[in-house]
Structure 1
Amino acid sequence: MPVVVFRRNAEVYEAEVKENTNLVVRAGIKQFPFPHLRYECGMGKCARCACRVLAGGEYLPPPNWKEKKQLGARLDEGYRLACQLWIEHDIELEQDDLPVEP
């Protein structure tokens, strides 16, 4: 099972998740071990769930059109939308409080 390391507010959370897990979906149904994940719509429209991928990004598919629209140049900085990612491999994510502007 993939291990997710999630960093937010100077805290680090680590847990195993089932393969093909979407972190925002899990958070929405209260089956998510990371209490500080910031998210809202879950559909790639608001970018509130934007996270910087610190490790494991090579296993993710390329950004989809929603991520390109919402994140713009921040994609080059390693940002992705958590709501658009289905986790199949170990990954390390960091979420900051900076607003995401395309």
Structure 2
Amino acid sequence: MIHIKVEDNKGEVQNLEIPEGINLNLMETLKAYEYPIRATCGGMALCSDCHCEVLEGWEKLPEAQEQELITLDSRPDASSASRLACQIKLADEINGLSIRLIGESE
């Protein structure tokens, strides 16, 4: 199991247990857990609806690619800890990740 701690836009924290080996990104997983993420661009790193702040586990993530950085740069609330959940692939390596959702919700 992959364990991820998620703080939603209301400050409520939930610990997710995600089965290993599912071929989803974090945005798709959050939607499956019924978080109100619009995800207007469908995971293309264009809309920033799935903007999140990495609270713990930053070192576990691969570096952000150019399109993700361009999209985050357009957000006034982006910080050095910002990522797009659609660009975070579920893998054993991200076990223990802790995030706060910041993006636009439904």
Q: Which residue of 2 aligns with 1:53?
A: 54
Aligned length: 94
Within the alignment, does 1:81 sit opposite 2:81 as a pair? Answer: no
> 5+ residue gaps in structure 1?
none
Within the alignment, does 1:16 sit opposite 2:9 as a pair? Answer: no
TM-score calculated relative to the size of structure 2? 0.73
> 5+ residue gaps in structure 2?
none
Fraction of identical pairs, as percent:
30
8 A Cα contact 2:37 2:49, kept in partner: no
Q: 1:86 & 1:70 partners in 2: Cα distance?
A: 18
Name the SS of the counterpart of 1:69 in structure 2: helix
TM-score calculated relative to the size of structure 1? 0.76
Give the superposition deviation at 1:14: 1.1
Q: Which residue of 1 aligns with 2:63?
A: 62
8 A Cα contact 1:6 1:34, kept in partner: no
The AA in structure 2 aligned to 1:60 is L
Give the superposition deviation at 1:66: 1.4
